[in-house]
């Protein structure tokens, strides 16, 4: 039975293939409040293609897991989808030269007043590869303890927070009752990792090649 149009790479680990193509032009065509829209021209075979995409700084999210296998989630209003979503604490990588794990520690403190003694990479993912370069790293944080409360504003001012058992989150994800991508991917990854004795966890400073900050830009 055929495996599809190509069966190259037999015997190699199943993985995406990073490709760096010659970019002949790159410009910001919309300078947004949080992120921009960038237009690039690049060589692809004998053609020069042009694409517009959201140029995103990247983000981190945190699965804060307590000793009872409960995850601390927040319910926050998200205007583009007109929903108050359950999601893990998360935030943009918008501080220059800040390590992702440091950003995750900051977001955990600022959004839910928690610190953690133990940090690991749970999973990395690209949110919408056809339309933006947003890369998100989800951390697993354990050994939790409370911090002094932060003052919050905007959509964060009325956030609800709740400790939810991991298995209950997985059930809600599979039933499509919750649809935030970091919550869905994080819950499924945590569930699978726990079943494997947490052997899939990676160092908190593990390399992150997909992060857009590491991609060169021509022009702009």
How deeply is 202 buried, as exposed, middle or buried, from its count of CB atoms within 10 A (0-12, 13-18, 19+)?
middle
CB-based contact 107:136 (threshold 8 Å): no
Give me the catalytic one of 85, 153, 156, 160.
156
Catalytic, 156? Answer: yes
User: Helices 181-195 and 166-174: crossing angle, nearest 10°?
Assistant: 120
Angle made by CA atoms 102, 125, 109, in degrees to the nearest 5: 25
Catalytic residues: 156
């Amino acid at each position: 039975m055929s495996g599809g149009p190509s069966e190259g790479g037999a015997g190699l680990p199943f993985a995406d293939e990073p490709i760096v193509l010659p970019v002949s032009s790159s410009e910001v065509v919309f300078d947004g409040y949080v992120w921009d829209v960038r237009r690039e021209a690049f060589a692809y075979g004998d053609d020069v293609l042009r694409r517009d995409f959201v140029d995103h700084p990247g983000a981190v999210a945190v699965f804060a897991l307590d000793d009872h296998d409960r995850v601390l989630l927040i319910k926050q209003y998200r205007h583009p989808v007109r929903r108050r979503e359950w999601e893990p604490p998360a935030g943009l990588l918008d501080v220059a030269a800040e390590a992702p794990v440091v950003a995750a520690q900051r977001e955990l403190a600022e959004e839910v007043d928690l610190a953690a003694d133990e940090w690991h990479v749970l999973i990395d993912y690209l949110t919408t590869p056809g339309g933006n370069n947003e890369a998100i790293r989800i951390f697993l944080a354990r050994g939790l303890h409370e911090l002094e409360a932060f003052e919050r504003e905007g959509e964060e001012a009325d956030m609800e927070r709740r400790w939810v058992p991991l298995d209950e989150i997985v059930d809600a994800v599979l039933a499509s009752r919750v649809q935030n991508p970091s919550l869905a991917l994080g819950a499924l990854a945590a569930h699978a990792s726990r079943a494997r004795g947490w052997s899939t966890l990676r160092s908190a400073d593990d390399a992150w090649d997909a992060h857009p900050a590491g991609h060169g830009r021509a022009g702009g």
